[in-house]
Chain A
Amino acid sequence: MNYAYNVSHLLAGLMLVASFALLYQDRIFAVLNTFAAQAMLLAMSVGWEGWSQGRPNLYITAAIALILKGIVIPVALHRMIVRLGIHRDVEQVLNVGKTLLIGLALTALSLLLVLKVTAAAQNFTREGLALALAIILLGLLMMITRRNAVTQIVGFMSLENGLILAATGARGMPLVVEVSVAFSVLIALFVFAVFVFRIRERFDSVDIDALEQVRGDRK
């Protein structure tokens, strides 16, 4: 039970809690705030790993996470929402209770799986991986349970948070890859943004089910 382990456990655990909070929230600004909080936790977690493992290149990852995902993306999304005028409740496909229960089951599954598969690996890595996989699955779950395009973007970004957490724990990812991942996330945001505005222009709504109307083959 050493100190380094305690802190990284705390930060990663709080990230998981933030993922659940994302699933639970149904107000769009609260979703954004929670997401920003998760990104900041990620930055702290990555920074802590950099300090405790003595790998300064992780500070850059932390800085990217903090600036890009903790500040830039939430602010951008915030503006987008205001411009689109959709700051109302998020509609959900499944109800909150069921979503949370599924989320719990997914978390249990990922813990079970990672602990089983990586029995030989070093302990801190295993825990980081287990929590990261849970965060990734919860991000995916968020993407499929939300109808609103903006919250789907948040789900995707939160998934990506999990990926970065996994990469930090695994000690494998070179800096170039990290920078390019960050860059591609930014690109994805732009694509999403353009996409959302186009949907909005066409259908007066960002409910992605509105897209169904374009397809002629549905009865």
Chain B
Amino acid sequence: MGNTLILLVGQGIQMFLVILVAPAVTGIVRRVKARFMRRRGSPIAQPYRDLLKLLRKEAVVAGNASWLFRAAPYAILAFTWVAAALVPTFASGLMFNWAADAVALVALLGAARAILALAGMDVGTSFGGIGASREMMIATLAEPAMLLVLLTMALTAHTTRLPEIADYFIGAPITVRVSLALALAALTMVALAENARIPVDNPATHLELTMVHEAMVLEYSGRHLAVIELAAQLKLVLYISLIASLFLPFGMAPATAGVVAWIAGAATYLAKLVFAAVLLGVWEVSIAKMRIFRVSEFLGGAFVFAFLAILLAFLTGEVTR
């Protein structure tokens, strides 16, 4: 029974950890980008201040917006938050990690996306429609690649539960596997697309015909916008955690290892987040955004990588059988 309590506490810590660090990760990415462009850039804490500022402002809602428009931000945040709480971060095997496996995780994010797209269409403006339509198109390209990545992982680790996959890779001997490298590449490409990062979408843009995510949230303001922004930042943390737990699980503490191990695990986790944020910043300044219809080729590449990963994993399995 004591164990259950520890696991529950750990789960609670994770829920609040991910949401607390989320704005900082975005802040780091922006800061790194600014430095590379020879600008001073805003402080890393700026996203927190932005959120607080938005919360203090009144919400302006379009005259014909329905209840769906006003409820959507909270639903989006709830779906994203639950998904983020279930990805292993600083410790594996916390209380509710088993509630959703990798497939369910993808579906939770899909639900958040569908609600966001619906909210974008609610007011009936052309920008909202443009964003929703493109977002759903990008999702159709990303999801098959995502599933194939999961298949590769399940093929290697014989489970679809994320903590078990992480444990498997912590325990497995280090080998050079092209298939895993390809799966990592594919998952990273999917993550870039899903988080509206360059080259698929530009998070810094506003008022541009090529925008996707920003177009959907154009009508939001005040507290609604704050909640949606927080959900987007949380999603970035979620994908980084997902990639880290699948491909760089080292340093993750077992769930019942005690407070010291948890702190060590949390420190490694935060280090991974910072590393990933810096990497993302460097990536974003060094590459240009694609035309929207080049995205299908970009994500088609992710699909090919993921499929090759499976084929090579089959080959290895067959040859070393």
Contacts and interface: CB of A to CB of B under 8 A. Distances in A.
A and B touch in the complex (CB under 8 A): yes
Contacts of B304: 20, 24, 100, 103-104
Interface stretch (A5-13, A72-80, A206-214): A5-13
A100 B300 contact: yes
A20 B308 contact: yes
B308 A97 contact: no
B169 to A, nearest CB: 15
Contact of B300 (A13, A16, A97, A130): A97
A115 B315 contact: yes
Contact of B307 (A13, A104, A115): A104
B206 to A, nearest CB: 31
B208 interface: no
Interface residues of B, number: 24
Interface in B273-320: 296-297, 300-301, 303-305, 307-308, 311-312, 314-316, 318-320
Contacts of B320: 1, 5, 123
B319 to A, nearest CB: 5
B300 A96 contact: yes
By secondary structure, the B interface counts as helix
Given A1-B320, A10-B178, A127-B319, A17 B297 contact: no
Nearest to A103: B304
A67 interface: no
Nearest to A130: B315
A97 B176 contact: no
A12 B311 CA distance: 13
Given A17-B308, A97-B296, A10 B176 contact: yes
A108 interface: yes
A61 interface: no
Contact of B314 (A7, A20, A111, A124): A111
B297 A96 contact: yes
Contacts of A108: 311
B311 A111 contact: yes
B314 A13 contact: no
B175 interface: yes
A151 interface: no
A126 B297 contact: no
Contacts of A100: 300-301, 303-304
A20 B306 CA distance: 12
A107 B178 contact: no
A13 B178 contact: yes
Contacts of A140: none
Interface in B159-180: 173, 175-179
A8 to B, nearest CB: 10
Contacts of A127: 315-316, 319
Contacts of B216: none
A1 B300 contact: no
A124 B318 CA distance: 11
Interface of A: 1, 5-7, 9-10, 13-14, 16-17, 20, 24, 96-97, 100, 103-104, 107-108, 111, 115, 123-124, 126-127, 130-131
Nearest 9 pairs of A and B residues by beta carbon:
A13-B178, A6-B176, A123-B319, A127-B319, A10-B176, A97-B300, A100-B304, A104-B307, A96-B297
Given A10-B177, A16-B312, 19 more contacts: A1-B173, A1-B320, A10-B176, A10-B178, A13-B312, A14-B178, A17-B178, A17-B182, A20-B308, A96-B300, A97-B297, A97-B300, A100-B300, A104-B304, A104-B308, A107-B311, A115-B318, A126-B319, A131-B315
Interface of B: 173, 175-179, 182, 296-297, 300-301, 303-305, 307-308, 311-312, 314-316, 318-320
27 contacts: A6-B175, A9-B178, A9-B312, A9-B316, A13-B178, A13-B182, A13-B312, A14-B178, A16-B308, A20-B304, A24-B297, A24-B304, A97-B300, A100-B303, A100-B304, A103-B304, A104-B304, A104-B311, A107-B311, A108-B311, A111-B311, A115-B315, A123-B319, A124-B319, A127-B316, A127-B319, A131-B315
